[in-house]
Amino acid sequence: MSIAEKKKQWTDTKVAKFLTRSPERYEKFLTTSNLEIERVFTPDFDYPGYDEKLGFPGSYPYTRGVQPTMYRGRFWTMRQYAGFGNAKESNERYKYLLGAGQTGLSIAFDLPTQMGYDSDAAMSQGEVGKVGVAIDSLADVEVLFDGIPLDKVSTSMTVNSTAAILLCMYIAVAEKQGVSADKISGTIQNDILKEYMARGTYIYPPKESMRLITDIFAYCKDNVPKWNTISISGYHIREAGSSAVQEVAFTLADGIAYVDAAIKAGLDVDDFAPRLAFFFNAHNNLLEEVAKFRAARRIWAKIMKERFGAKLEKSQMLRFHTQTAGCTLTAQQPDNNIMRVTIQTLAAVLGGTQSLHTNSRDEALALPTEDSVRIALRTQQVVAYESGVADSIDPLAGSFFVESLTDQIEKAAWEYIEKIDKLGGAVEAISNGFQQKEIQDSAYAYQKAIEKNELIIVGVNKFTISEPPPTGLLKVTGEVETNQKKALAEVKAKRDGAAVKAALAKLEVAAKGTDNLIPLILEAVKVYATLGEIADVFRGVFGKHQETVVL
């Protein structure tokens, strides 16, 4: 059968079925010259390996996208990452962004929340509300989502060690709104392995952390079916200095480890794999980034089908969120960051992302102002509505350069995955410092190239100007910490202390055994046990992870 015949078959079957439940935005897509744009373009000649390497959108190996119509049906979710100060301030920012056209929430938590400390803990001093919103108890989450109907929005939460606690708080708030757990949708990052190798917000040792993750998989399968139970993150690996190849390889190796752990915990791969999601970085090299996303989909499809025997199509699909590269933003000439983010936005869209956060121009200096975050969101909207790149699926397919890059990234990523397999898998390789050393070496080489002017960063090592100090930056004051501590004290004074004590005691017993911990965490948050109190129970039972030092 020719490619043209296969395309017709795909259109008449998979596309036709998909269109019955999800119509495209327009009956006919046209350029500004009224030239018709096809849904997907294919070669008019025999293309060796077309089925194995490319196929069609929404079909194995998903190189060309995970949906048959992609953005012709609807655009990616425009999900701006935000959170600072206390829950009330962050709630106001979310409402502002939703009013400006954002289509999904993405929550940033402060470091104490990510590390399992309440705002009144000694370890939290000076960090409360600084890089994200401070969350101590269910009371804060009630304020955070006040006036935001949780059955109408999808929420992503960038949290890992304390992901189970925040998920339970979200479920509890939804129930208070009259929304049952099976109606809410969103994602928790919940990817602890990349914390050990690249980011550092871990608490417990790997084995115990993996138990919490697989408990979430099992609980959500039956109770929160629309929730993405993990967002396996290459973003922070790239931010730490990895190459594009390393980002793909180390992320997918982590994915293999999570699937392995879930299967060993007794779960069937097709019961949880459809809710796995990924999170990637969009860097400056436009065509390499597009190729990276295409290669990642193809590799993951093969892993799930051939290694784990996944039978469901959704189990084989790599669905991913993208954030533009924070590490590329410069404090010098910050308006230049608008252009960088535009290039990175194009990379994510041309690469087929499912959702996108665009960084703001001033984020190398501070948390973004409302003006800056609006420009960042408008960047996505201009690309979506004005550029035309979303009107045809995988428009760069068939480019000699892009296909070559896709193949090369795939080959190099497989080589890394095979090395990690030989080291005993991602967890063992991280324990030995393999990925950490590779990332360090890559970061050092990148920085050395900048300092030797072999790599030009506009406004940094070329085209520099004399600039006045920046003004009008957003600053989180110490008053936030003072007020947060006061609010926490009020919650503790009003709650039923005996109920809290009993819930934490039950949780401790369960942590020492093998029962699924999520129902007991949910019980504890509903009686206003704090995030720090719950994390302390686990610290007492599981212990704390000690970092592998790599020189």
CA pseudo-torsion sign 167, 546, 118, 159: negative
Residue 350's pLDDT is 98
Fold type of domain 50-430: TIM Barrel (3.20.20)
Domain boundary assignment for the chain: 50-430
Asked if residues 319 and 354 have their Cβ atoms less than 8 Å apart, the reply is yes
Greatest Cα pair distance, the chain, in angstroms, is 74
> Residue 462, exposed/middle/buried by CB under 10 A (0-12, 13-18, 19+)?
exposed
Q: What is the percentage of the chain residues whose pLDDT exceeds 90?
A: 95
Q: For residue 550, is pLDDT > 80?
A: no
Dump pLDDT digits (tens) for 77-123: 999 888 999 999 999 999 999 999 998 899 999 999 999 999 999 99
In DSSP notation, 322-367 reads EEE-GGG--SSSTTHHHHHHHHHHHHHHHTT-SEEE---TTTTTSB
Q: For residue 434, is pLDDT > 90?
A: yes
Which CA distances in Å does 362 have to 382, 435, 524?
Answer: 20, 31, 39
Distance CA 539, CA 543 (A): 5
Residue 82's pLDDT is 87
Dump pLDDT digits (tens) for 357-386: 999 999 999 989 999 999 999 999 999 999
Q: Would you give the end-to-end CA distance of the chain in angstroms?
A: 56
> Residue 401, exposed/middle/buried by CB under 10 A (0-12, 13-18, 19+)?
exposed
Mean of pLDDT values over 530-545: 98
Asked if residues 319 and 278 have their Cβ atoms less than 8 Å apart, the reply is yes
The Cβ of residue 477 has, within 10 Å, a number of other Cβ atoms equal to: 10
- Report, in angstroms and rounded to the nearest whole number, the Rg of the chain calculated over CA atoms: 23
Mean of pLDDT values over 479-486: 96
108-117, 474-483, 498-507: the lowest-pLDDT one: 474-483
Which CA distances in Å does 41 have to 47, 68, 353, 386, 397?
Answer: 13, 13, 19, 21, 8
Q: For residue 481, is pLDDT > 80?
A: yes
Mean of pLDDT values over 177-184: 97
Mean of pLDDT values over 477-498: 96
- Mean residue pLDDT of the chain comes to 96
Dump pLDDT digits (tens) for 29-59: 999 999 999 999 999 999 999 999 999 999 9
Residue 549's pLDDT is 75
pTM of this prediction? Answer: 0.95
Q: What is the percentage of the chain residues whose pLDDT exceeds 70?
A: 100
Residue 546's pLDDT is 87
Residue 80's pLDDT is 87
Strand bridging mode 77-82 / 276-282 = unpaired
Residue 474's pLDDT is 86
Dump pLDDT digits (tens) for 390-414: 999 999 999 999 999 999 999 999 9
Dump pLDDT digits (tens) for 110-167: 999 999 999 999 999 999 999 999 999 999 999 999 999 999 999 999 999 999 999 9
Distance CA 65, CA 318 (A): 9
pLDDT band at 547 (very low <50, low <70, confident <90, very high): confident
Asked if residues 333 and 366 have their Cβ atoms less than 8 Å apart, the reply is no
The three-class DSSP label of residue 380 is helix
Residue 548's pLDDT is 73
- Rounded to 5 degrees, what are φ and ψ at 203? -125, -60
Which CA distances in Å does 370 have to 196, 289, 421?
Answer: 33, 29, 46
Listed in sequence order, the residues at least 6 apart from 460 whose beta carbon sits closer than 8 Å to its beta carbon are: 330, 332, 450
Asked if residues 24 and 69 have their Cβ atoms less than 8 Å apart, the reply is yes
The three-class DSSP label of residue 233 is strand
Dump pLDDT digits (tens) for 285-309: 999 999 999 999 999 999 999 999 9
> Residue 407, exposed/middle/buried by CB under 10 A (0-12, 13-18, 19+)?
middle
Listed in sequence order, the residues at least 6 apart from 321 whose beta carbon sits closer than 8 Å to its beta carbon are: 79, 156, 187, 231, 277, 278, 279, 280, 353, 354, 355, 356, 357
Asked if residues 102 and 93 have their Cβ atoms less than 8 Å apart, the reply is no
Among 316, 407, 395, residue whose Cα is nearest residue 349: 395
- Residues 531-534: contacts with CB under 8 Å, at least 24 apart: 531/113, 531/116, 531/118, 531/135, 531/136, 531/137, 531/162, 531/165, 531/166, 531/169, 532/112, 532/116, 532/117, 532/118, 532/121, 532/136, 533/118, 533/500, 533/504, 534/116, 534/165, 534/504, 534/507
pLDDT band at 258 (very low <50, low <70, confident <90, very high): very high
Residue 323's pLDDT is 97
